[in-house]
Amino acid sequence: MKKSLSLILVLFIVFGMAGTVFAANANPFTDVPSDHWAYSAIKKLAKSGVIDGMGDDTFQGNKAMTRYEMAQIVAKAMAREAKADAANRAVIQKLQAEFAAELTNLGVRVSVLEKKMDNFKMTADARVRYVEKENSATNPSWGERWRLALNADVNDKTSFYGRFMVMNHNEFGTTGTNTDKTQVIDAAFTTKNFLFDKTDLTIGRYSLNLGQTTYFAGTSGMTDGVQANINTGKASLMGGYASIKSVGFGSSVATFTSADNIGYVQLNYAFNKNFKMNANYVTSQKCDQMDVLGAGLNAQVSPNLVFVGDYWINSADGIKSSYNGNSDPKAFVARLAYKGANATIPDSWGMAVEYLKADYGSISGDMTGAQVVTVGSTSAYQGVKSLDVQVSYTLAKNITLEGFYQFDMKDPLTGKDLASDKYTRMQINFIF
């Protein structure tokens, strides 16, 4: 009995001393099973400064999660392996083999998450607009618009771009029974190096820009078709086949392109960084209302001064014989711009003066992005001769103020002043 009691006391003292020793050398990463060999390995790396703890120096969660948490520590050690000595590298490699499954699963989860975040980007913009047209029954009018844009990569060669728009019916200063407009204005896929090097192919609904000023073509989406772009550096060639739909609300917008598909091609050439030119050709396929040949230029006159201009002529028989006295309607626009508001730089600003002369039948409201006031006896054959002033100012980061004043508006055929010869537009733009 005494021997048994003595043995129990000895064991008690031994284990008590051992417990004191273990407590003094406690695992800095608590919750890691103390009977796992990885304990000493992790402790060794921690004492060498190769790895750090996890915030409060503990692993949280159940046993399964503990292995994943340990895998995270091992991943950190692997990232610093090049700076470790030979002994610690051997320890890291042993831990890597032990937690290979957890590291694989952890790596897959992280890489997929990062890929999806890089692969997917959403942006938006909104504006509030005030419009006033002299002697108009709808004066003044307010309009609001917001757009949500999505960029996503399908794979390493193909990407998707989409935009959704909500716009107040009064955006164009029109009134009536039409409701506000909600629609998808872009939904297009673009593949790089399609069949040939430096050739991109876009199919779906996209924006079409021809010329330098957007007066001839500068759609905000609403172009359904296919377009190819070949870019060789100084020179680029763009061509496509598409139908164009108006984003407007009322009959005041010209519509002769909506009834037909168009084919188009544009050649751009940069002589140097300060001087660029383009030439384009557009033809309608069935209704013979568009057979346009045009050219434009962009010249950097000084670091802060830019001259841009466009000229085009419409030789379609369906246009000139219907309204314009069998002559080919022509259009010319010239703009001199000083500086410009940069949405990312508060207090940046710019202004421009512009001259426009567009014969009846030279401008389609479906295609132009300029939104100047045009006139005509029918919606399909509008034109105008006018001057305008444009100003822009960045109120704060991603908030800009824009003003547009069109005046001295005349009938392009007779040269007489129009009854409503002044048009004012002010708007605040938000980008987020």
**Amino acid code (one letter) for 334:** A
Sequence-ordered list of residues with C-beta below 8 angstroms from that of 32, at least 6 positions apart, any chain: 38, 39, 42, 59, 66, 70
Please report the pLDDT score of residue 381 as a whole number. 59
Query: What integer pLDDT is reported at residue 111 of this predicted model?
Result: 52
User: 142: how many CB neighbours lie within 10 A of its CB?
Assistant: 12
User: 259 pLDDT band (50/70/90 cuts)?
Assistant: low
More confident residue, 24 or 41: 41
Give the end-to-end CA distance of the chain in Å, rounded to a whole number: 84
Using 50, 70 and 90 to split pLDDT, how confident is the model at 282?
very high
Q: Domains in the chain, please, with CATH? A: 16-98 (no CATH), 120-431 (2.40.160.10)
Residue 250: predicted pLDDT: 43
The answer to whether residue 403 scores a pLDDT higher than 90 is yes
Lowest mean pLDDT among 60-74, 278-292, 375-389: 60-74
Lookup result for tokens 């003003």: 403
Number of neighbours of residue 311 by Cβ within 10 angstroms: 16
Per-residue pLDDT, averaged over 156-181, amounts to 75
Is-contact 203 189, C-beta < 8 A? yes
**Which of the given ranges, 19-23, 86-90, 354-358, 411-415, has the highest pLDDT on average?**
354-358
The whole-chain average pLDDT of the chain stands at 79
Alpha-carbon distance of 39 to 19, in angstroms, equals 17
Q: What pLDDT score was predicted for residue 386?
A: 92
The model's pLDDT over 202-244, given as tens digits with 9 standing for 90+, comes to: 999 999 999 999 888 888 898 999 999 999 888 999 999 999 8
pLDDT of residue 211: 93
CA geometry: angle 301, 297, 258, nearest 5 deg: 140
Q: Which of 299, 236, 297 is nearest to 273 (CA)?
A: 299
DSSP label at residue 375: B
Report phi then psi at 344, rounded to 5. -90, -5
DSSP 81: G
Winning range, highest mean pLDDT, from 176-185, 188-197, 285-294: 188-197
Q: Is 37 exposed, middle or buried (0-12, 13-18, 19+ CB in 10 A)?
A: exposed
Mean pLDDT calculated for residue range 92-108: 75
Among 48-57, 303-312, 392-401, which stretch is predicted with the lowest mean pLDDT?
48-57
Tell me what pLDDT residue 29 has: 44
* Predicted local confidence at residue 393, as pLDDT: 97
**Predicted local confidence at residue 306, as pLDDT:** 96
Find, among 70, 110, 77, the residue nearest to 93 by Cα: 77
Percent of the chain exceeding pLDDT 70 equals: 73
- With cut-offs at 50, 70 and 90, classify the pLDDT of residue 277: very high
Which pLDDT band, with edges at 50, 70 and 90, does 22 fall under? very low
Between 355 and 98, the more confident residue is 355
Non-local CB neighbours of 12 within 8 Å, separated by 6+ positions: none
Burial of 225 (0-12, 13-18, 19+ CB in 10 A): buried
Question: Contact, 291 vs 315, CB < 8 A?
Answer: yes
Angle of the 86-98 helix axis to the 63-79 helix axis, nearest 10 = 140
Look up residue 311 and give its two tokens: 């000229």
Least confident window among 36-45, 268-277, 343-352:
36-45
pLDDT for position 57: 44
Residue 290 has pLDDT above 70, yes or no: yes
